Chains A and B, each alone.
Chain A
Amino acid sequence: MADLRDLLDEIVTDADVVFLFSPSGSYYEKFVDLEPEVTLVVVGTENAVGASTFVELPLAFEDVRERIRFGIEGAMKQDLVDDGDVIACATSVFSQNIDTVTRVQANESVQSGVYDLFANSRADPNVIRNVLEVAIELGKKGQKGKPVGALFVVGDAGKVMNKSRPLSYNPFEKSHVHVGDPIVNVMLKEFSRLDGAFVISDSGKIVSAYRYLEPSAEGVDIPKGLGARHMAAGAITRDTNATAIVLSESDGLVRAFKGGEIILELDPEVY
């Protein structure tokens, strides 16, 4: 038994920072009572244990790598972690409780901009999260069982409206609905069978559906094989300060674009 512990020792020795991902109250207390010399950071969708150093996850990332990457990026932005620090991450993979310990070294190259996507976008972080949730839900269920595609352009709505034209009458004209309102998800789902993009303002107001985006697609570099919807999303985010969230019709993945690049790729099926 002792040699098994030695193995774990190697993972946690010399760690500068410990990340606890959504720890239970008792686990957290136990950890604090040990009074370790390392910095403790709690990462989770909510600060249930009332920790002083906390990084908020916008989604309960199912993929452990995404989860840890987001935690590190958030912690680096909050100056809790420096470049080159060794981090021991305690997280859960199979059960609700913490069952996995992993060792990561923080460096700038780990950063993919996922934290930026939420924390430093023009639009409210909650709005981006709500739109992502709608896209994920739409990807999971589809429209009446059939896979659908959708394109949401969030933030900088004024500029986006000027760089697009209506394909037909705007169903959201003179309406004041915001993403996250209770019935809006159903509405967005119904309208997702329409062609074109949804335009959503910084504060989450749904400005328009049925928009044909006309940005200049010059210099937009997205992986080959993705269709016109992704190209439009990449181009509009390069041309404006908006964030685009795309649900692909062909492979069913949800992708987020910012500054013309894919920042985040999620599989709705695993959420």
Chain B
Amino acid sequence: MAVQWGVFGEFRYLVAVAVLFVGWLAGYLVGRANKRILTAANVPDLVEGTPFERTAQSLGTSTVAMVARLSSWFIYGVTILVALYVANLLDTRLFFTRITAFVPDLFVAILVFIVGFVLADKAELVVGERLRSVKLPEVGIIPKAVKYSIVYIASLLALGQLGITTDALLILLAVYVFALVFLGGIAFKDLLGSSAAGIYVLLSQPYSIGDEIQMGSRRGIVQEVDVFVTHIEDDGEEYIVPNHRMFREGVTRIRN
């Protein structure tokens, strides 16, 4: 080993100290720059109100500070390793290569986990806010489901980054997504069909408010057209016809 170092072999402790100093400075600066960038990107506002942020606040820090510090720590860690290597205190090269491969992964994994958690909390808040007008107690399960889905995917990504076998979890995710898509498709079949037809009706207006039309057995004056349904009124009876009926059965416009 010592042969490689040649001339400045004697100075290697000095070089190690210099590396430590430069690393410390770089880590500090990167941490501060990160904090600035995240603040400029409006991250503090975005994460406001999420449980993660509140926990961070109660610990006397914030999400932004934690992420910024994480990048600093990452650089400190790398610096210490490099310094140890330079100082020739760590002898096993094998250990070194493994560590250098592992540290970035660990860093990314922690970052993914934090981002996932914040995202999940935020999604829960946003979905909950949207559903506030729906006065149904059971609706509270939807924001929770969204939150834990995101946490699940984030932890899956983080574990995958660390190289831990996640095959079983992956299969579980696949089953979950399949169920969501499949059952959602069945549940929303008519709504999707209607909205597709509704978009056509709204864009090209084959009939519009005030026209007299016949759709299936329903005949009357169009009172209202929206994405999903058409309101047809006839002598005090208002029919609300889903738009996909228009494509299935066609529409007769009555002109006289």
Task: Give A residues with C-beta under 8 Å from B.
Answer: 156-162, 174, 176, 201-203, 205, 207
Given contacts A158-B210, A158-B233, contact A203 B221 (CB under 8 A): no
User: Which of B205, B208, B210, B221 gathers most chain A CB within 10 Å?
Assistant: B210
Interface-facing stretch out of B1-9, B83-91, B174-182, B222-230: B222-230
Interface residues of B in 161-206 (CB under 8 A from A): 202-203, 205
**How far is B224's CA from A202's CA once the two chains are assembled, in angstroms?**
7
Question: A159-B221, A207-B208 provided; 10 other pairs, C-beta below 8 A?
Answer: A157-B223, A158-B209, A158-B223, A159-B233, A161-B209, A162-B210, A162-B221, A176-B202, A202-B224, A203-B224
**How far is B204's CA from A174's CA once the two chains are assembled, in angstroms?**
8
Chain B residues lying within 8 Å of A160, measured Cβ to Cβ, are 210
5 contacts between A and B (CB under 8 A): A161-B210, A162-B221, A174-B205, A201-B209, A207-B210
Chain A residues lying within 8 Å of B203, measured Cβ to Cβ, are 174
Given contacts A161-B209, A174-B205, contact A156 B224 (CB under 8 A): no
Chain A residues lying within 8 Å of B209, measured Cβ to Cβ, are 157-158, 161, 201, 205, 207
Q: Quote the shortest CB–CB distance from A158 to chain B (angstroms).
A: 4
**How far is B221's CA from A159's CA once the two chains are assembled, in angstroms?**
7
Q: Quote the shortest CB–CB distance from A165 to chain B (angstroms).
A: 11
The 4 closest A-B CB pairs, nearest first, are: A161-B210, A158-B221, A158-B223, A207-B209
Q: Quote the shortest CB–CB distance from A164 to chain B (angstroms).
A: 9
**How far is B202's CA from A202's CA once the two chains are assembled, in angstroms?**
17
**How far is B211's CA from A158's CA once the two chains are assembled, in angstroms?**
7
Given contacts A158-B209, A161-B210, A162-B210, contact A205 B224 (CB under 8 A): yes
Chain B residues lying within 8 Å of A202, measured Cβ to Cβ, are 223-224, 231
**How far is B221's CA from A36's CA once the two chains are assembled, in angstroms?**
54
Q: From B212, B222, B226, give the contact of A203 (CB < 8 A).
A: B226
Question: Would B223 and A201 count as touching, CB distance under 8 A?
Answer: yes
Interface residues of B in 222-248 (CB under 8 A from A): 222-224, 226, 231, 233
> Which residue on A lies nearest to B236, using beta carbons?
A241
**How far is B226's CA from A201's CA once the two chains are assembled, in angstroms?**
11
> Which residue on B lies nearest to A155, using beta carbons?
B223
Q: Quote the shortest CB–CB distance from A189 to chain B (angstroms).
A: 23
Question: Would B210 and A157 count as touching, CB distance under 8 A?
Answer: yes
Q: Quote the shortest CB–CB distance from B46 to chain A (angstroms).
A: 24
**How far is B233's CA from A160's CA once the two chains are assembled, in angstroms?**
13
Chain B residues lying within 8 Å of A207, measured Cβ to Cβ, are 208-210
Q: Quote the shortest CB–CB distance from B243 to chain A (angstroms).
A: 15
> Which residue on B lies nearest to A202, using beta carbons?
B224
User: Which of B222, B223, B233 gathers most chain A CB within 10 Å?
Assistant: B223
Chain A residues lying within 8 Å of B233, measured Cβ to Cβ, are 158-159
**How far is B226's CA from A158's CA once the two chains are assembled, in angstroms?**
14
Chain A residues lying within 8 Å of B231, measured Cβ to Cβ, are 202
**How far is B253's CA from A6's CA once the two chains are assembled, in angstroms?**
73
Chain A residues lying within 8 Å of B222, measured Cβ to Cβ, are 158
User: Which of A158, A160, A202 gathers most chain B CB within 10 Å?
Assistant: A158
Chain A residues lying within 8 Å of B221, measured Cβ to Cβ, are 158-159, 162
**How far is B212's CA from A203's CA once the two chains are assembled, in angstroms?**
19
**How far is B212's CA from A176's CA once the two chains are assembled, in angstroms?**
20
Chain B residues lying within 8 Å of A205, measured Cβ to Cβ, are 209, 224
Given contacts A161-B209, A207-B209, contact A201 B224 (CB under 8 A): yes
Q: From A157, A159, A162, A176, give the contact of B224 (CB < 8 A).
A: A157
Chain B residues lying within 8 Å of A158, measured Cβ to Cβ, are 209-210, 221-223, 233
> Which residue on B lies nearest to A163, using beta carbons?
B210
Q: Quote the shortest CB–CB distance from B216 to chain A (angstroms).
A: 18
**How far is B223's CA from A201's CA once the two chains are assembled, in angstroms?**
7
**How far is B221's CA from A112's CA once the two chains are assembled, in angstroms?**
31
> Which residue on B lies nearest to A156, using beta carbons?
B223
**How far is B212's CA from A17's CA once the two chains are assembled, in angstroms?**
50
**How far is B221's CA from A201's CA once the two chains are assembled, in angstroms?**
13
**How far is B203's CA from A203's CA once the two chains are assembled, in angstroms?**
18
